[in-house]
Amino acid sequence: MTDLKVIGVVGETIDNQTWDWLYEKVGRKRCPIINTYFQSETGCPIIFAIPGVIPVKPGSVSLPFFGVQPVIIDENGSELEGEGSECLSIHCKNPLLRSQSL
Alpha-carbon distances of 80 from 36, 56, 97, 99, rounded to whole Å: 23, 26, 21, 16
Query: Under a CB-based contact definition with an 8 Å cutoff, are residues 26 and 1 in contact?
Result: yes
Judged against a pLDDT cut of 90, whether residue 67 lies above it is answered with no
Of the CA atoms within 13 Å of residue 38, those in its CB half-sphere come to: 15
Judged against a pLDDT cut of 80, whether residue 55 lies above it is answered with yes
> In this prediction, what percent of the chain has a pLDDT beyond 90?
19
**Per-residue confidence band for 93, with pLDDT thresholds at 50, 70 and 90:** low
Please name every residue paired with 13 in a beta bridge, in sequence order, or none if there are none. Answer: none
In this predicted structure, what is the pLDDT of residue 21? 94
CA distance 69 to 90: 6
